[in-house]
Amino acid sequence: MIAKSLKRLYLNWLPLLCATFLFPLLSSAQITQVPYNSDSTFYRVDLALKNPDQCFYLFLEADTLQSLPKEFKSLKNLKGITFRYCLNANWSDIFTRLADLPSLKYLEISICDLKIIPENISLLDQITSLNVKSNLLEKLPQSIKGCDQLEYLNLSFNRYAEMSLLIDQLKSILKLRSVDLSNAWISELPDNFSALINLISLDLSDNRLHSLPEGFANLKSLQILDLSNNRLLAFSTELIKVTQLTHLKELRLASNELIKIPESLGDLSQLEVLDLSGNILNELPSSIGNVSALRDLNLGSDAARQRRNRIRNFPGTFNNLTNLERLNLSGDSLIRIPEAISNFTKLKELNLSWCTVFEISPAIMALRNLEILYLDHNHINKIPEWIGELTALRELHIDGDYFTYPLDKITILPPSIGLLKNLEVLTLKDQVIRALPPSISECTKLKVLDLRNNLLSSLPDEFTLMESLEYLDLKANEIENLPSGFSQLKSLKHLNISYNQPLNLPAAAQQIQHMKQLEVLDISFNQLSPQIYYGLKKVLPDTKIIAKGFNNLNQLGN
């Protein structure tokens, strides 16, 4: 739920940014997806034709169309169009219509059971981005060479039977800079793959590669390479080829069961992003210090926390990574936070969750630019007073582990928390906190506060001053009363006060009934009466009220 709340904060902007800047190394106008929730994006052809001057993007999903009307050429400003789950389309006819659009740069045909791309795709010689992911393609038409302006090509989730022919076609498109061949069941790359010398970005993740072609190191222009989840690849020898790509800026090798990284890693002096998460590394090469341009280093576990690195001793050269802005050591079972972290004063995000950390090291105190700190699921029982010195913090995550002993849980939130004026997200669930300091009200930008499963019996009176708060989870506490003026939290959209048996619910309802802006209210498993439940339903008709456990009638939660 918290993740959804966080996404809501920037969801309206992110797709548009991605569409324009996903690959900054390509041309500045490159489009790699149609932006969602944009005023210039339409979702029906008829509405687009009624507003031709305002339509810059068109997203057609599960549309039964077979072709496009003749009037479609009036969409002179159309830059990008997506066809998704469009199973009845006559693509040859559609390409003929799209050829009339001078501004069209992006075409996506995804999840459309496409088996053959018609030869007349060559009519679309104006497009710079083509996305045909998740279809049934085994090859591309010879005429693809006619799309000579292509810079970005997404062929992921297809099964290419003739890889050598595919590469011959692609190498003739001289402007091609980015190719996505992920999830394509590729076990071997043909020798002619090295002919794609103009590539800047290459995604080969989630395949079945055994080796890389001998000429792979000839891809000298390559700056972004993703080889994640290719566990059959003989990395002990093949990584040498990768480290010869000295212009690499981003290298992703996640989930490959890597045991060791060669010292030649240090030759990648321009590398800025290195993802080694989900492997089984016990050490880093001493040459890591030569990669001093690194901004983002991911050594964390995989999403399921099944594969994780176990690096206990970092080489002395690790201290040289002073340009790091993001460091992920999650799931590493660290007992102590590395002292070297104090050298990384440019760090903006640090993830130390799911380790075996017993205290928050003073080394973190030096990170005055830190914006996001994860310390979840450790054995920390105290937040130091100096936490208030990290004034750049926007997110602080210190959720406890439900199954650990109370002695390994946090009991007190220090008053200095109020010094974090930029804090927007604070999560402290599954701890044993009994009271909040009044100073928490000084976190005036706080939007998300998760205190689920603590021992709170009340909230400070000053709590009602938190005007930015949008998400508040107090589930499974011992709250008796909400503070006077609680209804003044006018930004609050999600409130969970379930499993608070001592709660004076009639008094709480008197305040909550004035909070018309609430989108979700959870009052499950409390001392609830029909009068309170139906009273709230009446005055808050637009609020989803969840009341599970009320007279054992769970259906009242809807």
Average pLDDT over residues 85-113: 97
Q: How far is CA 24 from the centre of its chain?
A: 18
pLDDT of residue 333: 73
The more confidently predicted of residues 315 and 30 is 315
Helix (H) or strand (E) holding 273: strand 273-275
Task: Quote the CA–CA distance of 399 and 447 in Å, as a whole number.
Answer: 17
The alpha carbon dihedral of 100, 104, 105, 108 has a sign of negative
* Structure-token pair, residue 524: 């499950």
- Is residue 399 within 8 A of residue 377, CB to CB? The reply is yes
Right CATH number for 456-558 from 3.40.50.1820, 3.40.50.12500, 3.80.10.10, 3.40.50.2000?
3.80.10.10
Task: Quote the CA–CA distance of 328 and 339 in Å, as a whole number.
Answer: 15
pLDDT of residue 347: 98
The answer for residues whose C-beta is within 8 angstroms of residue 57's C-beta and 6 or more apart is: 34, 35, 38, 40, 41, 42, 78, 79, 80, 81, 82
Which is it for strands 296-298 and 201-203: parallel, antiparallel or unpaired? unpaired
- Domain map (residue ranges) of the chain: 15-185, 192-288, 324-447, 456-558
Q: How far is CA 47 from the centre of its chain?
A: 32
Instruction: Using the predicted structure, report yes or no on whether residue 21 has a pLDDT greater than 50.
Output: no
Instruction: Using the predicted structure, report yes or no on whether residue 327 has a pLDDT greater than 70.
Output: yes
User: Do the domains 192-288 and 15-185 match in fold?
Assistant: yes
- Is residue 232 within 8 A of residue 208, CB to CB? The reply is yes
pLDDT of residue 551: 59
Q: How confident is the model at residue 405 (pLDDT cuts 50, 70, 90)?
A: confident
- Is residue 310 within 8 A of residue 332, CB to CB? The reply is yes
Instruction: Using the predicted structure, report yes or no on whether residue 463 has a pLDDT greater than 90.
Output: yes
Average pLDDT over residues 342-354: 97
Q: How far is CA 436 from the centre of its chain?
A: 31
- Calculate the average pLDDT of the chain: 92
* Structure-token pair, residue 221: 């222009």
Q: How confident is the model at residue 50 (pLDDT cuts 50, 70, 90)?
A: very high
CATH class of 192-288: alpha beta
Instruction: Using the predicted structure, report yes or no on whether residue 15 has a pLDDT greater than 70.
Output: no
Q: How confident is the model at residue 176 (pLDDT cuts 50, 70, 90)?
A: very high
Q: Cβ–Cβ contacts within 10 Å for residue 137, how many?
A: 21
| Residue 429 C-beta-side C-alpha neighbours within 13 Å | 16
How long a stretch of residues is the chain?
A: 558
Please list, residue by residue across 505-526, b when 16 or more beta carbons sit within 10 angstroms of its beta carbon and e when fewer do.
beebbebbbebeebeebbbbbb
Q: How confident is the model at residue 110 (pLDDT cuts 50, 70, 90)?
A: very high
Instruction: Using the predicted structure, report yes or no on whether residue 5 has a pLDDT greater than 50.
Output: no
Average pLDDT over residues 359-371: 96
Instruction: Using the predicted structure, report yes or no on whether residue 28 has a pLDDT greater than 80.
Output: no
Domain 15-185 has CATH 3.30.10.20: no
The more confidently predicted of residues 333 and 376 is 376
Homologous superfamily of the 324-447 domain (CATH): Ribonuclease Inhibitor (3.80.10.10)
The answer for residues whose C-beta is within 8 angstroms of residue 260's C-beta and 6 or more apart is: 236, 281, 283, 285
Task: Quote the CA–CA distance of 254 and 225 in Å, as a whole number.
Answer: 12
Q: How confident is the model at residue 280 (pLDDT cuts 50, 70, 90)?
A: very high
- Torsion of the alpha carbons at 483, 484, 489 and 490, rounded to the nearest 10: 150
- Is residue 336 within 8 A of residue 356, CB to CB? The reply is no
Q: Cβ–Cβ contacts within 10 Å for residue 215, how many?
A: 15
Q: For the segment 195-241, what is each residue's pLDDT rounded down to a tens digit?
A: 999 999 999 999 999 999 999 999 999 999 999 999 999 999 999 99
Task: Quote the CA–CA distance of 420 and 422 in Å, as a whole number.
Answer: 6
Task: Quote the CA–CA distance of 251 and 535 in Å, as a whole number.
Answer: 57
* Structure-token pair, residue 17: 């940014």
DSSP conformation class of 25 = T
From the list 505, 459, 511, 506, the residue with the least C-alpha distance to 485 is: 511
* Structure-token pair, residue 448: 């998300």
Task: Name the percent of the chain lying above pLDDT 90.
Answer: 85
The answer for residues whose C-beta is within 8 angstroms of residue 62's C-beta and 6 or more apart is: 84, 85, 86
Which is it for strands 425-427 and 106-110: parallel, antiparallel or unpaired? unpaired
Backbone angles phi and psi of 401, in degrees to 5: -100, 120
Task: Quote the CA–CA distance of 532 and 529 in Å, as a whole number.
Answer: 5
Least confident of 229-233, 286-290, 331-335, 543-547: 331-335
Q: For the segment 502-550, what is each residue's pLDDT rounded down to a tens digit?
A: 999 999 999 999 999 999 999 999 988 999 999 999 999 999 999 998 6
